[in-house]
Amino acid sequence: MRENGDAVVEVLDLIKDYRPGFGLRRKRILHGVSFSVQRGEIYGFVGPNGAGKTTTLKALMGLIQASGGQARILGCDVSENDFREHIGFLPENPYFYGYLTAREILDFYARLSGLDGQRRCRRVPELLEWVGLGEASESRLRTFSKGMLQRVGIAQALVHDPEVVFLDEPMSGLDPIGRKEIRDVILRLKSEGKTVFMNTHILSDVETICDRVAIIVEGRIRYEGRIEDFLHEDDLMSDVVLSYLPPELGEILEAKFGARVRGVGGRIELRVREKQVSQLLRLGLEAGAEVVSVTPHRVSLEKIFLEAVSTSSSHLIRNESARKGERS
């Protein structure tokens, strides 16, 4: 674990075993997970589906009990209650009482969070406005769309103005506009000095907003560190798409930049290092080609992610073949 005086979330060697049913053997979901989240940062907890992201978050929220290890939030053990006045939680696909209106449910959560009547009267409409539900505040939640429910979820997590916010897959199932809005909310929280911990499997979100990430695969942390650490300048690539290219030029470019070239119809697509982009464009334009698009491509996180997943699955395959060998 990283030595740091201002760690807001500290997780050390967290273990979780499940017994899938009576008489069945215990199954280990988390194999000693350790990481820490610093004050004021956006922390991305990344992993494929079933890697143990939600299990870790549930253990942090006290919804499940860890079988071993420690987890502390704001210096308190997660089995306690009082530190929760300072945290907010948005579960994955949040569900709320459908018979309440948006205003009623926020008022309910505000009361649970210990806000007095005066502060509730001020905070609830303000927050509804903030998440863009001002007009829908008197509608029953059962009439809400998924995106609206997600915003209710964000609002309830923030109702008591917490220091740390935990988000489980905040962007999943949303349309592009919804995702953009949630992204903006998260960045705004950071600008207000809050700490944000988010579970996600959408790497582009992580790349755009997270300060630090941990990659969890099959219940083990594979990598933890700052985004910049992954993104060495050498690794910054861009995809360039050109059209109306003289056929011979493709080969020349391929040879010169050592890039992978793919032909799509009358277009070709090349992946080159970021610093070579201007040189490539100049050459292409001189030869009479037209530039269709230039997309910066950060290869590193995805690469590391895929690497992490593939090593563990090969590990898995090895294990299985070994077991098969034993049996035969």
- Give contact residues for other proteins (rule: CB under 8 A): 18, 58, 61-65, 81-85, 87-91, 93-97, 99-100, 104, 108-109, 111-114, 132-133, 135-136, 139, 145-148, 153, 156-157, 160, 166, 175, 177-178
Greatest Cα-to-Cα distance within the chain, rounded to the nearest angstrom: 75
Handedness of CA 187, 203, 232, 298 (dihedral sign): negative
Report d(CA 111, CA 230) in Å as an integer.
Answer: 43
Nearer to other proteins, 44 or 62 (CB): 62
Report d(CA 31, CA 54) in Å as an integer.
Answer: 14
Shortest Å, Cβ 89 to other proteins: 4
Nearer to other proteins, 86 or 273 (CB): 86
Nearer to other proteins, 82 or 233 (CB): 82
Shortest Å, Cβ 44 to other proteins: 20
Nearer to other proteins, 138 or 233 (CB): 138
Paired tokens of 93: 């696909």
Report d(CA 208, CA 146) in Å as an integer.
Answer: 23
Report d(CA 203, CA 107) in Å as an integer.
Answer: 35
Nearer to other proteins, 172 or 243 (CB): 172
DSSP string, 172-209: TT--HHHHHHHHHHHHHHHHTT-EEEEEES-HHHHHHH
Dihedrals phi, psi of 5, to nearest 5 degrees: -75, -25
Shortest Å, Cβ 6 to other proteins: 22
Nearer to other proteins, 5 or 176 (CB): 176
Closest CA to 152 of 129, 173, 128: 128
186 C-beta neighbours (distance < 10 Å), count: 23
Shortest Å, Cβ 321 to other proteins: 32
Shortest Å, Cβ 220 to other proteins: 21
Report d(CA 282, CA 286) in Å as an integer.
Answer: 6
Shortest Å, Cβ 207 to other proteins: 25
Secondary structure of residue 160 in the 3-state scheme: coil
Nearer to other proteins, 178 or 219 (CB): 178
Shortest Å, Cβ 326 to other proteins: 32
Nearer to other proteins, 143 or 313 (CB): 143
Shortest Å, Cβ 175 to other proteins: 7
Shortest Å, Cβ 37 to other proteins: 16
Nearer to other proteins, 42 or 90 (CB): 90
Residues 242-246: contacts with CB within 8 Å, 24+ apart?
A: 242/267, 242/268, 242/270, 242/284, 242/289, 242/290, 242/291, 242/292, 243/267, 243/268, 243/289, 243/290, 243/292, 244/288, 244/289, 244/290, 245/284, 245/287, 245/289, 246/287, 246/288, 246/289
